[in-house]
Chains A and B, each alone.
Chain A
Amino acid sequence: MAEIKNIAPSEHHDYQGSKMGMWLFIFTELFLFGGLFLVYAVFRTQYSADFHKAAEETNTFIGTLNTVVLLISSMTVAMSITAIQSNQKGRAIRLLLVTLVLASVFMVNKYFEWGHKFELKLYPGSEVLTNLPKGELLFFGLYFMMTGLHAIHVLVGMILLTVTIFRIKSGHIHTGNFSMIENSGLYWHLVDLIWIFLFPMMYLIT
């Protein structure tokens, strides 16, 4: 069996292995959100009229804007990986910085969006929310939990990308060893992918 390689981890870096590990981790993240998608599906079926009404409350403009922002940021990450592969260190760092700026734009938008909800007293446990029809209450519960968990993932992704920038600077990541930037990139695409599902569920399907 020629294709079976044995590489002691302390001696060599197993590129395939580290990528496989990242993919498995991404599966677990998808299943984590999958639980919430399941709950969403159950309540959407049970309270479709209420969900219809509640979804009209969410700001489709900000939602669309954030979707575009995240999609572009995914592109800049991918471009940065290509840059590393063709040995353009400075370009790779600049592209990652652009990604970080876009991620911050996403978070600022999110902040205003949530802030607006809080102004309207539409937060979990508030009196206004508790007095809404049950389906709407559950919709906002899901809205806060799903976008909140997603926002935490955006923050983790930002930390990961920042670490990546420093590791490119210090020369740990280069043309010959780029699995870390690829893996952070994969994570960032995951963040993007989950948003692609959240966006229609929360903003578009009314």
Chain B
Amino acid sequence: MSHSETHPQVSYLEYQGKYKGILGWLTTTDHKRIALLYMYCIVVFFFVAAILGLTMSIEKMRPGQDIMNAQTYNGLFTVHGIIMIFMIVIPGLAAVFGNFALPLLIGARDVAFPKLNLFSWYLYVIGAILAVLSQLLKGGAPDTGWTFYVPYSAGSSTNVIWALTAAFILGFSNILTGLNFIVTIHRMRAPGMTWFKMPLFPWSLYATAWIQVLATPIVGITLLMVIAERVLHIGFFDPALGGDPVLFQHLFWIYSHPAVYIMILPAMGVITEIFPTFSQKPVFGYGAIAISSLAIAFVGYFVWGHHMFTSGISYWSKWFFSFLTFIVAVPSAIKVFNWISTMYGGSIQMRPPLLYAISFVFLFMIGGFTGLFLGALATNVQLHDTTFVVAHFHYIIFGGMGFAFFAAIHYWYPKMYGKMYSDRWAYIAWGFTFVGFNLLYFPQFIIGVQGMPRRYFDYLPQFQWGHMLSGFGAFILLIGLILMAWNLIYHVKRGAIAPANPWKGVTLEWQIASPPTLENFEEIPVIKHNPYWFGTEEEIKREKKSVTRNT
């Protein structure tokens, strides 16, 4: 398949290899097609899990039992969590937009191991099927919460093993994606693209990929240990047999805290691509953003204990984990300042991707600050296991990763499909989504501080106002999401033709056709500038002179 054989005019969407139609998609090794395969799965599961979330909100609009019983509720929040965390948020941005944009951004024809890439997708599908089966099979949906805490998960009579196996396989798929990206970034950058001439989304994917590779195996073995606990009564986590449930929490969070950065780092990367494009100005503090990604990934390994302040760990380890939790906020804040400064003095175009990106910054900051409340030892004791925690992580994960996903799809959509969506409907959908989101989660901060516990099926009447508002918020949010999906799906066929560079972006993906050809680049570009270099022709000339003077 040398690129001279492929017709340059045919896009990757129309290209026909060995197989036609759906089989062509299922056997594709093209990074762009695999990205879309991931995206379709993720969008479907997202709506399933969102509707589960909605039913939970409806149930809680009034105290007492309304539309489901307590066991169903336990199953629902577990299923909601497992689908959202393991099937959407953790793989989401890296698998969809990493796959789609990484090779384009670094000037490569594909990822390093295209077959392995397809294999990861199949693993993802197998894991997803197991997760869905765990809900439907006899025995009942798992009711442990997505964290699978022992000793309850070792004893619960529901289909916990299926869910554990699903999470294990999904994790494996994730590891292979990370591995693929690390090698791709090391080996396949276009000639002249040194590390510090690489765009910042690849930088964030690089940091993420190391977490995927180095942290995921730990949760893999931990899940295997829980399976062994259930099947063989091996006793590592069972106090009756000499084991230690807190040990499980350590092992689980050694992975699952860094996993938060698997979710949020690519989100930050996407946002970093969007700000310079819509400000028509180089990103502010390129080096600081690149290095802070690595710093977050590194420090993020050593903060897992902040999930266990009330589980009985020693004073000094609490102190240590709390301190590092505060430290890890610093590189995140650096990024926020850089994004804002990028807009300063730029010529800002408030198109939908930028609107979502700005919302990301706003929501992520609320999520980040409330994270500090939880990271502080004294307030943590009060707030632990209340809806304050629920609100905090939904602001980070939905307000952060979710809104970054929306920003990314609105940003790269013209490149993916070669069509434009309607800006107008994108703004309207944004309005519903943004208002609905805040209405859904903000009240939970307040009732959380007042003492409303999380994961409770029933509550005292004084918390009803909060749950009521949340319920309305959930409806508004869902309307926004449906509008957004409709706007995007409808315009795949009927949208206006997108130019190669609709946003006047300067990174490499905007210099090729929309949608790209199978091999992306007719000729691999040679990189001379920083990735966010908005030069006029005159400047380009001047720059060339200074380069010759320097050398």
Binding site for B on A (CB under 8 A): 1, 4-11, 14, 16-18, 20-21, 24-25, 27-29, 31-36, 38-39, 42-43, 46-47, 124-125, 130, 134-135, 137-138, 141-142, 144-145, 149
Contacts and interface: CB of A to CB of B under 8 A. Distances in A.
B183 A1 contact: no
Interface stretch (B231-239, B319-327, B345-353): B231-239
Contacts of A28: 175, 179, 213-214, 216-217
A6 B188 contact: yes
A5 to B, nearest CB: 7
A39 B241 contact: no
B475 to A, nearest CB: 43
25 contacts: A1-B191, A1-B194, A4-B189, A4-B191, A6-B107, A6-B188, A6-B190, A8-B3, A9-B113, A14-B187, A17-B112, A17-B183, A18-B113, A20-B186, A20-B187, A29-B217, A32-B220, A35-B217, A36-B221, A36-B225, A39-B251, A47-B242, A138-B235, A141-B232, A142-B236
A151 B251 CA distance: 23
B228 interface: yes
B129 interface: no
B435 interface: no
A21 B234 contact: no
Contacts of A4: 189-194
Contacts of A16: 187
Given A28-B175, A34-B218, A124-B232, A6 B524 contact: yes
A16 B242 CA distance: 47
Contacts of A36: 221, 225
Nearest to A50: B242
B135 interface: no
Contacts of A144: 232, 234
Q: Which of B1, B3, B187, B247 has the most CB of A within 10 A?
A: B187
A48 to B, nearest CB: 13
A12 to B, nearest CB: 10
Most buried by B among A8, A16, A47: A8
B247 A42 contact: yes
B217 A31 contact: yes
A141 B183 contact: no
A137 B235 CA distance: 8
A35 B189 CA distance: 34
A1 B187 CA distance: 13
B194 to A, nearest CB: 6
Contact of A124 (B111, B189, B234): B234
A32 B221 contact: yes
B241 A130 contact: yes
A121 to B, nearest CB: 14
Nearest to B3: A8
A48 B241 CA distance: 16
A137 B241 CA distance: 8
A159 to B, nearest CB: 16
Interface in B179-219: 179-180, 182-183, 186-194, 213-218
Contacts of B189: 4, 6
A126 B489 CA distance: 57
A62 B109 CA distance: 52
Contacts of B241: 130, 134, 137-138
A192 to B, nearest CB: 19
A27 B214 contact: yes
A29, A47, A125, most chain B CB atoms within 10 A: A125
Contact of B188 (A7, A27, A43): A7
Given A4-B189, A14-B187, A31-B218, A21 B107 contact: no
A189 to B, nearest CB: 18
A125 B217 CA distance: 26
Given A6-B108, A7-B188, A36-B221, 19 more contacts: A4-B191, A4-B194, A8-B109, A9-B109, A9-B110, A20-B187, A21-B180, A21-B183, A27-B213, A28-B214, A32-B218, A36-B225, A39-B247, A43-B236, A47-B242, A124-B228, A125-B234, A141-B232, A145-B234
Contacts of A33: 221
A35 B221 contact: yes
Nearest to B113: A21
Nearest to A31: B217
Nearest to B242: A134
Nearest to A10: B1
Interface string B235-276: 110000111100100010000000000000000000000000
A21 B179 contact: yes
Residue from A9, A20, A32, A137 having most chain B Cβ neighbours under 10 A: A9
A38 B255 CA distance: 14
B2 interface: yes
Nearest to B220: A32
Contacts of B220: 32, 35
B74 interface: no
Q: Which 4 A-B pairs have the closest CB atoms?
A: A134-B242, A35-B221, A31-B217, A124-B232
A149 B228 CA distance: 12
